[in-house]
Structure 1
Amino acid sequence: KYSKQKLEKQVKNIQDAESEMDELVISFTEVQDMSMLADKQIEYYCQKKDQMELAVEVEAQLGIDRYKTADMTSVKAPGALSREQQASEQPDYAEYKISAHDELQINVYGEPDLTKTARVSVDGSMSYPLLGKIKVEGLSAQELEEKLSQLFIEGGYIVNPQVSVYVERFSSVSILGEVRNPGSYELKGRLSIMDAIAQAGGFNINADINNVKILRIDRGQQRTIPIKLGDIKKGMEGVEIALKPNDTIFVEKIGKVTVLGEVTRPGTFELKDKITVLEAIAMAGGFTDIASINSTRIIRVDPSSKKKVLRVCVTDVISRGKKEKDLELLPGDIIYVPESFF
């Protein structure tokens, strides 16, 4: 009997030990799972942190401090504005000057036939009943009210006119290319290029800030105005240009060139500015010892998708000083340096 009781006790001890071991195994498995989850979360947030830091660094160079002051409680859909932003975006009607393509709502108290919507034409005028063509560009809403009242009185149409004017729809500019929210935006008074790009959400990470164009219709002809926004940041005079109604801003993507063959570090490099063949090869670490430098080639595809191969004699550039043979590169160019067999 004693032996049986002792045996049963030992069996129970073993069962208890097995139960504790099972609990430890479960706990260890949970810890492993939690550890793996934590590792994934850490990896995810590290990636997000790296992306955020990169975005901050890029936009800091452009003078945009978007992320430093970001508040996650204010996150909203692209293009949506907070009430405070909407209030700040509203024009000051006392100061706003009417411009071409604005749409005006004009009300004349007690005269329903004279209450109408008028659109400002390209030449800055509008057509109005009884008064004909009137120059309105450059006037504030209040100044136009006074002008219309005076014209009604002088023409003998209304003895004591009560006129109200407000801008129902503003002229617009288009912002396209490498910006976060491309589209059409109202032109409320004087608007600079940087202000317009800020309205479009700022630059994308691939934006080439030194390759921005304003497309403008001037006297029926389209003009292209190239802008280097890097010069604006430096405060160079004559660079910042006020936008006009129907202007289109186009932000180009950073161009890239590829350097292959017998160079130290073959790869793809960004064209942040104009560079030549030898400058690109220097970015790739220079020629290797077995490079056939005078057989260097540029492979270029023109807008019609036709491939062209240009040969560069490096000796002419380096030894003979013929800098004109150090060709300027275009986005998409491929430089190939073959191996020398001698």
Structure 2
Amino acid sequence: MALGGLLGACATEPDLEAPYDPPPPTPASAAYQLGMGDQLVFEYCRRQYPVDEYCLGIGDLLDIQVEEHPELNEQTRIAPDGTISFHRLGQIQAVDRKIEDLQSEMESRLAEFYPNLRDSVPKVVVFLIEGDQEAEKFVEMLLRNPNGASREFAISPDGHVSLPGIGAVRISGLSLVEAEDLLNERLQRHLPTLELVLNSQKLAQNVFSVLGEVLRPGVYDLTSETTLVEALAKAGGETEYAALDSVVVMSRMPDGVIEASLYDLEEAFEHGHSLGLVQIRPRDTVLILRTGIGNVNEAIDHFIRRNLPINVGVGYNAVYRLND
């Protein structure tokens, strides 16, 4: 009885005339940005490709039919020089042309070489029997590998992966979708009937890299708290050409900005400063510059543009902070 009275007292009648105020949308979480050490699986596969968009290639087998003149019908394969030979028409350039374009030229040349056809030029129809021989050879090459059409690679310290049929491409700093789009754009420049499906195998969140004038440059696991000096030690220490007064730690901030902090470890060691105790964060890049560099800011900028990931379409922004 008391519970019913309490519920009745708290209940309110809804105002059906009031405008509906929807709840705020749930903020979308930022897409994961790929980085050094991430293990990715790349799967090559066929894709649907419209025949009318296909550009003919060497080795393609064509079935050429001339309406109402079956005596002219024949199959021919595009030769290594990119041409086909068709009766009295001689050599016709076929590579890198669309089928419709080839048909039009053949119809024009039929009227030129067969005077009896000038009054009513017959329609030429070209059927693609075997196409994209370059892709066939490429797939055969892939299948010789025990992994078949799949490949597994880790993103290198400079943000690149090197893939068959594509070469080296920098994908660090991109999302999985952005990386897949970029790689397919590169692949389909010369293998348009193939596509690449990208999946994450292991995302290396807790790693850092040490590059430049160290004995063992590379990617290292960040399994526990690691100071700048400890990071340098993990990379085998500095080379004889290292400029310890110009040690750079680069971090990508959540907004995509690359923050580059410059440390003078030489002075820190001499005067007992605590700079060497600076903590390395996940996916930081430590760069040991070479002695003799005049403009440190310019060197940092040059390194970032050449080696560190810059998001496509986001723009470049770097912050440099010189530590006192």
TMscore range, shorter length: 0.3 to 0.5
Larger Rg: 1
Q: TM (normalized to structure 1)?
A: 0.38
If asked which structure has higher relative contact order (CA below 8 Å, sep 6+), I would say 2
